[in-house]
Structure 1
Amino acid sequence: MTLDLGPLAGRTFDAVLFDMDGTLIDSVPAVDRSWRRWAAEVGLPDPENFQVSHGTPARTAIARLLPADRVETEFRRIEQLELEDADGVVLLDGVHEAFAALGDARTAIVTSCTDALMRVRVDAAGVPVPRVFVTADDVSRGKPDPEPFARAASLLGVDPARCLVVEDAPAGLLSGRAAGAATLAVLGTHRADELDADAVVPALASVRFTVADDGVRVVAAD
C-alpha cells in the first residue's frame, strides 16, 4: 500500500520540529513504571493499571489528579522517579537518517520533559541532539499550548507556519497546529483515530526527508 501523506505531499518546509518521547525514542515502559509507582505512593485507585498521559507535561497531568497545593511536591517526586529509571529507553528507527538529512539548521527537539530528564533519556537512547531544543524548563505553558513549538521556530529563526511538527500525541499535535505548523503524526503511544494531523504514518522510519534550495520535503521511505 502506498503511504498517503495527504496535504504534506509536495509541500516545502523551513524546519522540522520533533517531539521526543514516542517520536524519537521509546520510553513508554520506563514512563509507565515511574508513574504507576507514583500512583501507588499517593494512593490513587488501581495504580497497576494507571493510565499515563503520554505527551502531556507532568505538572498538567498531576494537576488533574491532585489538589493545587500538592502539584509542585508531587512533580518533584515523579521527576525523581523518572530520572532514576531509564531502563529500556531506546532510539526508534529512522532517527539518525532524519537528523543526518536535515542538519542542525533545520531541526529542533521540542519535549515536555524537563531539561534534566531530557538529558537522561537522550543519553540512554543515543539521540543525536540538535543545536536547538526546547524543554518544559524553557516555557511557561506546555503542550497543548503553542508556546513550545513557537519558541523552537523562533530559536531556529523561521516562521512556525513554515515548519513541520512530528508528534505521537494529541497534546503535541494541538500545540503544533496552534503554533501554525503542519503536522505529521507517528503511531506508538496512541491509535491512529486519536491523532488529528495532516498525515499519520506508522513510524518515523516510514518517511524520509529531502533538502533542496527551496526547503525540506517529506516523502515516503523507499
Structure 2
Amino acid sequence: MTEKNAIANYLKSTGNKQAEIKVALVDCDGVLYDSMKNHTRAWVKLMKKNGVKCTRDEFYLYEGMTGAEIIKLLFKRGSGKNITDDEARELYKVKSRYFKELGEPAMMPGTTQVLSTLRDAGIKNVLVTGSGEPLLLERIDRDYAGLFAPERITAADTKHGKPSPEPYMKAQLKAGAKPCQCIVIENAPLGVQSGHASGSFTIGVTTGPIPEKDLYKAGADIVYPDMNALASALPALLEAFKTTQQA
C-alpha cells in the first residue's frame, strides 16, 4: 500500500477532508527501545516465582496494557485470585527490579531519524506509553534529547491502558490537537487498536515477532518492517498528507 492510498483510505473512513499533521504520538517499547525481549524475561520470572504459568511470547500480545492490568489478568487466569491495586503495585516493583537487572535495552535503530524528521517538519513528538518502567522513562530525555515535547502520557496517567483509546485521546487533549492532526507510531496490536480507536492515522512497525497482517487487522493504516524503513518513507508520507484530500 502506498502512503497516498493509506491516507486516502484513512480520510474516507474518518470523514475528514484532509489531515494536517501537527503531533506525532509515539510509543516507547519496541519503538524507542528494543526492550520487549527484556520485558518478557522479567515478566516470566515474576510469574514463575508466584506459581503462575505463562510463556514469553504471550507478553508481546499484552504489550500496551499497564503492568497492573497484566498482573491482574494472569493471576486471575492462573489461580482465580483477584489481585488488589496495592498488590499489583508491589508485584510490579519486583518485575521492574528484574527488568533493571537485565541491563539497558538498546535504542531502536532508525528512531532518532524518525523523531528528527518529524521535529524538523514542525511536528510535536509526544510520548504515549503503557509502561511505568523508571529505567526507560528516565533514559528518554537523555537518549532522545531535544526530540520530545514535555507533554507525555504514561501508565500513571490513565485508568485504562491500551487497547482502550484513553491513552491516545488523553495525549491528543494534552497536545491540543484533534485526532486528524495526529499520527500514532506503534509496534503492538493493542497499541494499534488504541491509536485507531482514538481516530488518529496509525502507523505500525513490525519490530517484534508480531506479523504485519496482525497490525493491519488491529487497525493500522500503514505498516513498515522496522523504524529504519519508516525513517526512509517518512518524508514521502508527510508530503502525501499535504497533498491528499478526500474527494
The alignment's TM-score, normalised by the length of structure 1, stands at: 0.82
Q: Is the 8 A contact 2:63 2:191 kept in 1?
A: no
Q: Which residue of 1 aligns with 2:90?
A: 76
Deviation, structure 1 residue 56: 2.1
Q: Secondary structure at the match of 2:30?
A: coil
* Bigger helix share: 2
What are structure 1's unaligned runs of at least 5 residues? Answer: none
Q: Which residue of 2 aligns with 1:127?
A: 144
The change in CA–CA distance for 1:118 and 1:68 in structure 2 (over 3 A counts) is farther
Residue correspondences, number: 212
Deviation, structure 1 residue 120: 4.3
Q: Which residue of 2 aligns with 1:8?
A: 7
Residue of 103, 106, 111 corresponding to 2:129:
111
Tell me which amino acid in the other structure corresponds to 2:6. Answer: P
- Matches for 1:100-179 after TM superposition, within 5 Å: 100-103=116-119, 106-114=124-132, 116-120=134-138, 122=140, 126-128=143-145, 130-131=148-149, 132-179=151-198
Q: Secondary structure at the match of 2:203?
A: strand
Residue of 7, 18, 29 corresponding to 1:21:
29
Q: How far apart, in 1, do the equivalents of 2:203 and 2:176 lie? A: 21
Q: How far apart, in 2, do the equivalents of 1:130 and 1:16 lie? A: 10
Q: How far apart, in 2, do the equivalents of 1:171 and 1:179 lie? A: 12
Q: Is the 8 A contact 2:30 2:207 kept in 1?
A: yes
Greater mean alpha carbon deviation, residues 32-41 or residues 187-196: 187-196
Moved over 6 A (4+): none
Q: Is the 8 A contact 1:36 1:50 kept in 2?
A: no
Tell me which amino acid in the other structure corresponds to 1:106. Answer: K
Give per-residue Cα distances to partners, 1:122-165, cap 9 Å, x unaligned.
37x82346122110111222111111111112222111222111
* Bigger strand share: 1
Deviation, structure 1 residue 116: 2.9
The change in CA–CA distance for 1:153 and 1:210 in structure 2 (over 3 A counts) is farther
What are structure 2's unaligned runs of at least 5 residues? Answer: 9-17, 76-80, 242-247
Deviation, structure 1 residue 115: 6.5
Deviation, structure 1 residue 177: 1.1
The alignment's TM-score, normalised by the length of structure 2, stands at: 0.74
Q: Secondary structure at the match of 2:74?
A: coil
Percent of aligned pairs with the same amino acid: 24
Q: Which residue of 1 aligns with 2:15?
A: none
